[in-house]
Amino acid sequence: MAGDRERYIPFLPMGSSIFSRIIQGEVPGSFIYRDDIVSVFLDIQGVNPGHCLVVPNEEVACLADLNPETGKHLFWVAHRIANAYRAGAIECEGVNLWISDGEVAGQEVPHVHLHVVPRCLGDSLIIRYDARSWNESQRPRLDEIATRIRERL
Ligand code: AMP
């Protein structure tokens, strides 16, 4: 639980990601929550105060290697944290949850982590992309893509 930084989690290999080292207590971390599956600590370069990272205790680099049950738990914990923000723990007018999976997606630390970001009007986080224009004539292409993905679920 919160503040329980000294607890040793024995199954982690030593000398691995920066997040494993935080979880092990080798490197400082400001913990919000921890249990047998995940640990949550504040991001040192957060968008806003309270921005935290929900990290599986077991180090896996990418989503494809993440145990689906762990993934569920990651979201469950993130949801609780977002609710704590909304309940007044910190200044918060909205929340973003995001995972960067892979370098091209902006992943810097090769240890899966779910960002929980409290948002405030006028803060510095800008999410933008060049949205294509849309009309219903493009529906067949969308359906084709949906089918390809559905077949691999
Ligand atoms: P990503 O770009 O999604 O891989 O996010 C990595 C995040 O880890 C960044 O937002 C960093 O600010 C954060 N980070 C890196 N090192 C530490 C650390 N020692 N303690 C807390 N957060 C960290």
**What are 57-110's pLDDT values in tens digits?**
999 999 999 999 999 999 999 999 999 999 999 999 999 999 999 999 999 999
- Return the residue whose CA atom lies nearest to atom 5 of ligand 1: 108
| Interacting residues of 153 by C-beta distance below 8 A, sequence separation 6+ | none
Residue nearest to atom 22 of ligand 1 (CA): 43
Nearest CA to ligand 1 atom 13: 43
pLDDT number for residue 40:
98
Would the pTM count as exceeding 0.85?
A: yes
**Mean pLDDT in the chain?**
92
**pLDDT recorded at residue 116:** 98
- Atom number of ligand 1 nearest to Cα 27: 19
Helix (H) or strand (E) holding 111: none
pLDDT reported for residue 50? 98
Ligand 1 pocket residues where CB is under 6 Å: 18, 22, 27, 29, 43-45, 100, 106-109
Shortest-distance atom of ligand 1 to CA 51:
10
User: What is the Cα–Cα distance from 93 to 101, expressed in whole angstroms?
Assistant: 26
Parse the chain into domains and list their residue ranges.
18-125
Residues with Cβ within 8 Å of 66's Cβ and at least 6 positions away in sequence, in order, are: 56, 60, 74, 112
Q: In this model, does residue 111 exceed pLDDT 70?
A: yes
CATH superfamily of 18-125: HIT-like (3.30.428.10)
Question: What's the confidence (pLDDT) of residue 5?
Answer: 40
Distance from Cα 44 to the centre of ligand 1, integer Å: 7
Model confidence pLDDT, tens digit, residues 16-40: 999 999 999 999 999 999 999 999 9
Above 70 in pLDDT, residue 13? Answer: no
